Copies of this chain bind each other. A is one copy, B any other.
Amino acid sequence: MTRPPNPTAFFRSPGRLEAFSDGVFAIAITLLILEIKVPSAHDASTVAELWRALLERWPSYFAFLLSFLTIYVAWSGHHLMVQQVKTVTLSLVWTNAFFLLVITFLPFPTALVAEHLTSPSGSLAVAVYAATNACSSLMYLCLYTVSNQDRTAPNRLRYARLNALGGVAICVACVGLAFVSKTLALLLVGAVWVWWSLPRREEPPLAASD
C-alpha cells in the first residue's frame, strides 16, 4: 500500500494472491475426505461386516493421508515463496494459476488411486498420480524462480529448489516404476513429501536484511 508504484506490478500487494491461494489449498485439502465412501447400512449391517468394510477401504485412507500431506507441504512451500515477494507481476499471477491448477486437480488422481489400487488397473492409477505430483513439483520450481525477485535470500530457498528438481525427477521415474511395482512407486512419491517436510538443521536462518 505504502510502496512506491512499480511499473511491473500487476497487483498492488500480494495480500489477495495469498488469500485466494490459501482458500484453494484449504478447499482442496478438505474435499479429499469426500472421496472416502461410507459403507451403507444395507451392505454392512453388523459390527463384523462394517469392520470388514472399513478395513477394505485402506487404499482410500492411504490416498487421503498421502494427498493431505502433499497439499499441506505445497501450501507451506507456497507461503515461504510468497512471503519473499515484493512485486506481484503478471508472470507470478500466471505461474501461480498453473500451480493451483495442479493442486485443484490432485483430488482426481487421489480418488483414482483409492478406487483402483487393489485391482490390476492400479498401475495406471499410480502412474497418473505420480505424473500429477511431477507436475506439482515442476510448477513449484517455476513459482520459485518467478517469485525470487531480488535474489537476496537464496540460502533458505536453495534447498527448496534442489528438492523441487529432485522431486520432479523421482516422480517422473515413478510413472514408469508404477508398472513394475505400484506399491514401491507410491511409497517413493510419499517419501519425496516426507523428505521435504523434514527440518533442515544445516539451513541458515533468515538474515536481518530479509
Contact = CB atoms under 8 A, between A and B. Distances in A.
Nearest to A21: B26
Q: Is the interface of A mostly helix, strand, loop or mixed?
A: helix
A47 B68 CA distance: 26
Count identical subunits in the complex.
4
Instruction: State which size class the interface on A falls in.
Output: 35 or more
A123 B54 CA distance: 14
Contact of A26 (B23, B49, B65, B69): B23
Contacts of A207: 5
B9 A50 contact: no
A16 B23 contact: no
Nearest to A4: B208
Contact of A112 (B11, B38, B206): B38
- 7 residue pairs, one from A and one from B, having the closest CB atoms: A23-B26, A50-B121, A7-B205, A27-B30, A38-B111, A41-B119, A47-B124
Interface of A: 4-7, 9, 11-12, 16, 18-20, 22-36, 38-41, 44-47, 49-51, 54, 64-65, 68-69, 72, 75-76, 79-80, 83, 90, 93-94, 97, 100-101, 104-105, 107-108, 111-112, 115-116, 118-121, 123-125, 128, 179, 197, 199, 205-208, 210
